[in-house]
Structure 1
Amino acid sequence: MKKVIVALLVAVSVWAAPYNVGQSVMPLDLSDQFGKRVTLTTMPKTLIMAFEKKTAATVNEYLAAQDRGYLAKNKAAFVADISQMPKFIAETFALPKMRNYTHTILLIQDEEEGLKFPYQEEKITVMKFRENIITAIEFISTAEDVKKAIEQ
């Protein structure tokens, strides 16, 4: 379903093409799982992104096993795109579960915002930055891959 929606929106909106290596990412203004607004004016060294329930679970399980402050210590952030999730499901089930985590989960709730980021089905997107410039984009699958991406 996501692939069909993505294809249609990209076809009618050239500006919605995903970011590429070498591009600058504008400051991100997102909410966390508690509804607190977080503005990333300078991107972290590593941005971990999940666009599906399964990939988000992989990242959340790994991060939940780490010490508090792990993401900040490694200059990383985790973003979950929940824009495809029906609002009722997000508010009733997903967000309450996310609030049990001690790590911050930044949320993309606007579909157009989500389309700006590279995505591969059943993969976790890892974006590396120097200031706001993307230096690398990688697609990973496992918790071990998440560890390597964050700690490198």
Structure 2
Amino acid sequence: MKKVLIAVLVSLSAWAAPYSVGQSVTPLELNDQFGKHHSMKVMPHTLIMAFEKGTGATVNEYLAAQGKGYLPKINAAFIADISQMPNFITKAFALPKMQKYPHTVLLIQDEVQGLKFPAEEEKITVMKFRGNFLTKIDFVTTTAELKQAIEQ
């Protein structure tokens, strides 16, 4: 059902087509796991995105091992698309768990906003930017691949 709904939304919303290399990404306004508002007028050098629970767990495991302050130090951000998660699950389980992480998790809670970003099933998306221009997209699955994509 989720895939059908996403396909319908994509076909009805041409502007929701995923960003591609060479394209300029519009500024983002997102809340983190504590409800704090973040405005990203200029994209960080590296944007890490997870669209599923399993890929999110891989990213969080990797980032937690790097310690507090890792993302700002490397000019990166982590975004988790939780738009498909039921609100009860988000509030009762996901957010309390995320609040224990030593890193910031920016949250996409609007399904259409999530469709703007490139994704592959069961993969982590790692995007590289120069200013707001998308210069590279990698899809990875393991922490070793994630580390390599981030360090490029």
User: Above 0.5 in TM-score?
Assistant: yes
Cα drift, residue 33 of structure 1: 0.3
Q: Which residue of 1 aligns with 2:52?
A: 52
Using the alignment, how far apart are the partners of 1:126 and 1:4 within structure 2? 25
Q: Does 1:134 align with 2:137?
A: no
**What corresponds to 1:13 in structure 2?**
13
Deviation at 1:70, TM superposition (A): 0.7
| Alpha-carbon distance in 1 for matches of 2:150, 2:39 | 20
TM-score (norm 2): 0.97
Aligned to 1:90: 90
Quote the residue 1:75 is aligned against.
75
**What letter is aligned with 2:81?**
D
State the 1:67 CA deviation: 2.1
- Measured after TM superposition, the shift of residue 4 of structure 1 is 1.8
| Seq. identity, % | 68
Asked whether the 8 Å contact 1:46–1:149 carries over to 2, the reply is no
Instruction: Tell me how far apart the structure 2 counterparts of residues 56 and 128 of structure 1 sit (CA, whole Å).
Output: 19
Q: Cα RMSD between the aligned structures?
A: 0.9
Structure 1 gaps of 5+ residues are: none
- How far is the alpha carbon of 1:6 from its aligned partner? 1.4
Contact 2:64 2:102 in 1 (8 A): yes
1:30 equivalent in structure 2: 30
Q: Given the two structures, how large is their TM-score scaled by the length of structure 1?
A: 0.97
Runs (5+) with no aligned partner, structure 2: none
